[in-house]
Amino acid sequence: QLLLLATMTINNIHLKREINRTAFISSLPTELRCKIFSFVEASDHLLPPCLLLSHVTHSWRQEIMACSE
């Protein structure tokens, strides 16, 4: 039963990533997305903007980390 749950969770993650890849912003070049991310300003949140954005999707997290290097 635990193995079934783990398999379902992995499949769900893959499905979400596939759906995210079809979003309009995903069709933009990585360089442009990095430029857009750089315009995000601090808001009332306690966390820095890059940390907030990194929680949107797996690919955004990877890109934000790459942009900050």
Instruction: Output the pLDDT for position 59.
Output: 84
Q: The pTM is what?
A: 0.57
4-60: per-residue pLDDT in tens? 777 778 788 888 888 878 888 888 888 888 888 777 765 666 777 778 888 888 888
**Residue of 30, 29, 51 whose CA lies nearest to 40:** 51
Instruction: Output the pLDDT for position 54.
Output: 83
Per the listing, tokens 């079809």 go with 22
Instruction: Output the pLDDT for position 40.
Output: 76
Instruction: Output the pLDDT for position 21.
Output: 81
Instruction: Output the pLDDT for position 31.
Output: 86
Contact 15, 53 (CB under 8 A): no
- How big is the CA angle at 26 (ends 23 and 54), to the nearest 5 degrees? 100
